[in-house]
Amino acid sequence: MQFFAFLFVCEEFQCSCGGPLSLFCATLLSFSCLSDHHSGKFLKIRKLSFKLSAHLSLSLAVAQDRLRLCMKRKSKLFLCPALALHYLCKLQQCVWLLRKTKMMSDNLRYTPFSTFLNRYFAFKVQKISVDAGFTCPNRDGTLGVGGCTYCNNRTFNPGYCREMPSVTRQLEEGKIFFARKYPEMKYLAYFQAYTNTYAELQRLRDLYEEALSVPDVVGLVIGTRPDCMPDELLHYLAELHRRSFVLVEYGVESALDRTLQRICRGHTFACSEEAIRRTADAGIPVGAHMILGLPGESREEIVAQADVMSQLPINTLKLHQLQLIRGTRMAREYAESPSDFHLYEAGEYAELVVDYLERLRSDIVVERFASQSPADLLIAPAWGLKNHEFTEWVKRSLRQRNTYQGRLYVSR
């Protein structure tokens, strides 16, 4: 009830007194008293917050004067002056925080990964990548050989998980790597390389349990293909999630079957949809990976896929720009027919991401907007930006366009 009362107060006070900062006050107070981020409430907060984006220069003194005037007129909104003044004190704290960090307005524009982690952990956590020696049905001949046309797993394996003899050793090396800067950090074992559910159940159990036995490892993130999640494994992961955190990430890559066929994924989008729904029904958090800019997809088709993904019960989403990597079939295809590809420049891609976010359901956590491949493997596009630098670019574009995630989302 507090939530709806705050929204009523801020909207009515804005209409009667013309005080957009009061709207900001009520919005932030709503955030402070909400313990959940239900998508409908979350989007309502966003819409209200950005009504005042052009008016943040309004001084706190003006807001105070208008509030007192409203009280003198015995407005029905403020039958309890003491309570109103209490809210005003909270407003001062919130405005100070906004001016101090400039983070609140950015985070309201999209849903960052930190909000997802905060639902499960009361402390900071960091993913440590693990290479458990898996292969892929698209490489070993089950579905094909050579893998997907864009794939070279060396592009996302950090140095500490190469040439390591065991999962435990890799995790310990990763902990040393991060503990230099964050000694109190806890960790998620990220089974990342290739298809991390493509093995016999007992082997998978042994590997997952080994990871969870490492001190300070508090959960698992498992990257896999949508066609590699048998029922018995799904049942085990559901049981495991009841006693430890588990997130399953599926490589969806595209919602267009013609694209999936062109890049030799070996499965359809319907397969991805089924795997995501089965996993969500089992009570396991679900993530998806999408590549923006795959050959043959127009800008309009890329953006339209945000609508499609928004209809699925996913919790997290990773976006990747198309990158051409040495040693891949796609690199050879590009050399033979470069006109078949549109490689986005950083600014152009940032605008594409913003267009995508506008159509994306507001409660979906966006973990990343772009990938960063090793320079010695990357052919193009070479932006010369780190991931956090590109994230700041997207935030700036969101501010400049005064828009936010879910603004154009339509529930079906």
Burial class of residue 364 (count of CB atoms within 10 Å of its CB; 0-12, 13-18, 19+): buried
pLDDT given at position 138: 84
> Which residue would you say has higher pLDDT here, 354 or 89?
354
Under DSSP, the state recorded for 185 is -
Domains of the chain: 2-101 (no CATH), 113-401 (3.20.20.70)
Quote the DSSP letter at residue 112: B
Contact 314, 364 (CB under 8 A): yes
**pLDDT tens-digit series, residues 192-230:** 998 999 999 999 999 999 999 999 999 999 999 999 999
Confidence (pTM): 0.75
Total Cβ atoms within 10 A of residue 301:
14
**Range in 113-122, 246-255, 350-359 with the lowest mean pLDDT:** 113-122
Q: Which residue has the tokens 């529930």?
A: 411
- One-letter amino acid identity for 224? T
Q: Is 157 exposed, middle or buried (0-12, 13-18, 19+ CB in 10 A)?
A: middle
DSSP strand pairing (186-191 vs 217-224):
parallel
Q: What is the pLDDT of residues 38-54, one digit of tens each?
A: 445 455 555 554 444 33
CB of 404 closer than 8 Å to CB of 108: yes
pLDDT in tens, 223-271: 999 999 999 999 999 999 999 999 999 999 999 999 999 999 999 999 9
pLDDT (tens digit, 9 = 90+) per residue, 77-88? 444 555 555 655
Where does residue 118 rank: exposed (0-12), middle (13-18), buried (19+ CB within 10 A)?
middle
**Which residue has tokens 């729904």?**
277
Angle, CA 294 vertex, CA 290 and CA 299 arms, to 5°: 90
Question: Counting beta carbons within 10 angstroms of the beta carbon of residue 278, is it exposed (0 to 12), middle (13 to 18) or buried (19 or more)?
Answer: middle
At 318 the three-state DSSP class reads strand
